[in-house]
Amino acid sequence: MKINLLGKILLLVALWCTGTVTSAKDYLLTSPDKTIQVKVSVTDVIKWSVIRKGETVLLPSPLSMTLISGEKLGVNPVVQKDSRKSVKETITAVVPVKNRLIPDVYNELKLQCKGGYVVHFRAYNDGAAYRFETNLPANEIEVQHETANFQLGGNYQVYWPQESDPEFQSHYEATFKDTTLASIGSQQYGYLPLLFTSGKGTKVLISEADLYDYPNLFLFGTGSSQLTSAFPKVILESKLKGNSDRNEQITRKAEYIARTSGKRTFPWRTLIVTDDKGLLETDMVYKLATPNTLSQTAWIKPGKVAWDWYNFNNVYGVDFRAGVNTDTYKYYIDFAAQYGLEYIILDEGWSAATTNLMAPNKDLNLAALMQYANSKKVGVILWALWNTLDKDIDKILDQFVKWGVKGVKVDFMARGDQYMVNYYERVAKAAAQRQLLVDLHGAYKPVGLNRKYPNVLSYEGVKGLESNKWSDIITPTHNVTLPFTRMVAGPMDYTPGAMVNTTKIGFKDVFNQPMSQGTRAHQVAMYVIYESPLQMLADSPTNYLKDPECTRFISQIPTTWDKTVALAGKSGEYVAMARKHGKNWYIGGMTNWDARDLNIPLTFLDGKAYQMEVLRDGINADRHPQDYIIETRPVKAGETIQVKMSGGGGWSAILRPVE
């Protein structure tokens, strides 16, 4: 018996040393405020689960990474060392989107595993995250697949941005379908962020952060409460379709999703677990991102922009022919200067061709225009097709600098593979070296690039106002869904500011004379609610000039925020937020097609007296949505104000301290 027992012990020791047997073990990680628990189980695979206030919102879900060379990180793991730390710091945002000072408070668990990899887990008060880190002997590895599955705690309600392209090509501009998790079949996939609501009303938002040199994560349904991970493979060959300058056909792909360094950290897989108000306040993606790498940032100037493309350059009441020409853009500059807007954008059409960004079109005297803009202290941003810029980025951006341009709007990327992720960073870095701002369109969601390169001011990746030109899907319901879904990931270039506003039955999609559903006050409130350090005024300058009171009000709302306080909200129904910039506070409220009254306590104010200027729906806004009222009255801390909104309406206020 003794010999047999000794033999068994020796066999177990040998198996343990070869890594063919693992010892099951659980690790528990708790958030600083004890509301979130992360349970990590190490058996034949590493799994994690997440609990909030006793409710399991994520059941044990596997995580692993498979390399082409055969290694399977996270499978049959052997934990050699575990370590923990607690962090309580404050991040100062270079370009503050929600908050200038961001508390970075979390507890972390690191599992160092045999085979040269580490898995990091973090627990925040509003969620959790994990990432892989490798320290492999190979200088270069090829990742075949990463398992980042999510087994939710039940058949949750979900806002699902349905996609269909088998190559994961997308402008990331789907609407968010309100459905259930079990209704998403195995052939259906969506992009991040994804928002779920548990049976108890807990909000669970899945996204990712610190994404570099690696493809975007997409999630497929299974007809159950589980989602499975998928990634675009590395593109080896592609070509443009027909005579298109931007629509790609992928003709050859690799068998791997990334070829990358063997010594690196991989993207954070993030799970924000909170309530509706918590979604409006979270900074998790920003906190998990790589810190600012730019030594000089004083030149980065956020601001508002007079934008041409939405309104089709339809200026009128002028003595020149409107279009993509010098006179029209001088008119934009005059408008911007009159209302203190920092920039204008020259969108598609300004250049000799979309494939030639080195020369303006024949109707545009760019040198004269730049001189005129400088005299008016208005910056100019130029549009660029991504693949044209990609072919000769240094030469093109150098030319932009010679012209005196302040930034570049890069468009139609429509991919989320490794090359495109690297392209985003190359653009950000090359632009920063020349002190140029960046606005990314046709883009996937923010993943923290705007923290590492704060000259990246905004991203599209949203079904925004421009869709009014060809569809009726931009409804007030859609508009009050975005703050709880897409906007949670970061800056959102929705391009608000429609001045032609209609009822549901009065709306028509007219490409060259667009209008919006909902009230004027609904549009104005977007300047407080929607986060974008480069915020557009999308309508015709003429329409703004014809309504100077509304335009004056919009022009006084800043584009960055020192502090954000969520006041009330429910995804798809309504939202109300307070934001501080300098000494002033700003309040915004928006509702879906239901008229709504909210009582807002001014508990966020200090002891000062404030003068509150309000732009709200007029008494007839339900039948004539352009009806609004501007009124002023004194308020003070502790007072409760009534926010009254028509169906499809909005409410905004600027609170200035009485000196």
Whether 285 contacts 270, CB under 8 Å: yes
Strands 101-113 and 25-30: unpaired
CA geometry: angle 398, 306, 320, nearest 5 deg: 95
Closest CA to 314 of 540, 27, 553, 641: 540
Helix (H, G, I), strand (E, B) or coil at 171: coil
Concatenated DSSP letters for 190-206? EES-EEEE-TT--EEEE
Alpha helices by DSSP H, listed for 215-316, are 276-281, 284-287
Helix (H, G, I), strand (E, B) or coil at 508: coil
Residue 213 among the catalytic residues: no
CA atoms within 13 A on the CB side of 37: 13
Q: How many CB atoms lie within 10 A of CB 354?
A: 17
Strands 189-191 and 501-502: unpaired
Residue 466 among the catalytic residues: yes
Residues 102 and 110: their CA atoms lie apart, in Å, by 24
Measured over the CA atoms of residue 513, residue 519, residue 521 and residue 527, the dihedral's sign is: negative
Q: State the DSSP code for 232.
A: P
Helix (H, G, I), strand (E, B) or coil at 116: coil
Q: State the DSSP code for 139.
A: E
Tokens 């072919």 -> residue: 391
CA geometry: angle 631, 637, 642, nearest 5 deg: 45
Residues 603 and 24: their CA atoms lie apart, in Å, by 50
The separation between CA 493 and the C-alpha centre of its own chain, rounded to angstroms, equals 9
Residues 6+ apart with CB under 8 A from 432: 294, 453, 455
Reported as type and span, the H/E element at residue 105 is: strand 101-113
Whether 125 contacts 272, CB under 8 Å: no
As separate numbers, helices (DSSP H) first and strands (DSSP E) second, the chain gives: 13, 41
Residues 6+ apart with CB under 8 A from 19: 76, 78, 114, 115
Tokens 């066999």 -> residue: 11
492: tokens are: 């959102």
Query: Counting Cβ atoms within 10 Å, is residue 33 exposed (0-12), middle (13-18) or buried (19+)?
Result: exposed
Catalytic residue among 146, 210, 283, 466: 466
CA atoms within 13 A on the CB side of 644: 9
Catalytic residue among 276, 411, 562, 617: 411
Residues 342 and 338: their CA atoms lie apart, in Å, by 11
Whether 178 contacts 204, CB under 8 Å: no
Whether 263 contacts 283, CB under 8 Å: no
The catalytic residue positions are 411, 466
